[in-house]
Amino acid sequence: VAPLRFDREKVLRVIPQDEKQTNVIKHLAQTNELDFWYPDAPHHVTANMTVDFRVSEKGFQSVQSALDQSNMHYEILIRDVQEEIEKQFDVKED
């Protein structure tokens, strides 16, 4: 079986400011397949916490518009997860 690829998948960072924004993240986790990097699950998300999650190429637009609608600032930590996976092997053989 070919390994799973993560082309154009992104890792986003958001910091929900209040309970309302926290619930937006939790709701997004239910409706989109988000992979939580930090914290490790949506139920740990609280206000003012740094939240990092991976989102598929397909899911990115809906996540982006939900964050925009809720006036939540987000940062794109990784633009293309697959590219980063390949770049992690940056040391040549001894």
Partner 1 sequence: TTGRHSYAKYNNWDKIVAWTEKMVGKRPDVVSRIKIGSTVEDNPLYVLKIGKENERRAIFMDCGIHAREWVSPAFCQWFVYQATKSYGKNKIMTKLLDRMNFYVLPVFNVDGYIWSWTQNRMWRKNRSKHPNSTCIGTDLNRNFNASWSSSPSTNHPCMDTYRGPAPESEKETKAVADFIQSHLTSIKAYITFHSYSQMLLFPYGYTSKLPPNYKDLVKVAKIGTEALSTQYETRYIYGPIASTIYPTSGSSLDWAYNLGIKHTFAFELRDQGRFGFLLPESRIKPTCKETMLAVKFIAKYILKHT
Which of 86, 93, 77, 65 shows the shortest CA–CA distance to 35? 77
CB of 80 to partner 1, least distance (A): 11
Is the CB of 70 or the CB of 84 nearer to partner 1?
84
Q: Is 3 in the site for partner 1 (CB under 8 A)?
A: yes
- Subset of 37-76 contacting partner 1 (CB under 8 A): 37-41, 43-44, 46, 49-50, 52, 54
Distance CA 36, CA 57 (A): 16
Q: Is 87 in the site for partner 1 (CB under 8 A)?
A: yes
